Structures are given as C-alpha cells and as structure tokens.
Amino acid sequence: MASEKLPLKLLMHIVNSEIIIRLKDNREFRGRLQSVDNYMNSILSDAIEIKDGNKLAKYGEVFIRGNNILWIQTEWDEVETD
C-alpha cells in the first residue's frame, strides 16, 4: 500500500517551493510551502489569498488545515484569455 502515501511524500518533497492551495470554499492561497504534516496541514509564507480571481489579502504566514484543501498545484502560469 505504498501508493497511498505517495501524495504526502510528494508534498514533503516540495517544501520551500511556490505553490497554490485551493480550499473547498474556492479560495486560493499562493505562497511558499514552509512545512506540511501527516494530515496535510500546511504552512505558507508570503501568502496571498485569492477568491474568484481577486486578491483579498497578503499575509506573512498562514496555516491551512489539511481537511479544508481541495487541491494543490506546484507551479502556475498566467493564462491569457482572448
């Protein structure tokens, strides 16, 4: 059952990387992943909170509970729309 732990191992491997975390309420936090634990609780530094594409706030550090996370993206590119 090693594949069950694969997402957590990947998260631990990307500590200190820039990421986006989308929460179940559709808010997003972008910042540098400082740490993650076995429950996917995460700490982001230099975090920016975004909802519906609008910047809501900038934080020095945020703690996000793992049970609120919908998905995590390790890199992002600006997408141009016509």
Residue 81 domain flag: no
Is the separation of the CB atoms in 34 and 61 below 8 Å?
yes
Residue 34 domain flag: yes
Residue 38 lies in domain: 1-51
Residue 78 domain flag: no
C-beta neighbour count of 17 within 10 angstroms:
11
* Span 30-65, pLDDT tens digits: 999 999 999 999 999 999 999 888 899 999 999 999
Nearest to 17 by CA among 46, 50, 54, 57: 46
How many domains is the chain partitioned into structurally?
Answer: 1
For the entire predicted model, the pTM comes to 0.80
Is the separation of the CB atoms in 73 and 18 below 8 Å?
no
* Span 15-29, pLDDT tens digits: 999 999 999 998 999
Residue 14 domain flag: yes
CATH of the domain at 24: 2.30.30.100
Is the separation of the CB atoms in 58 and 33 below 8 Å?
no
Residue 82 domain flag: no
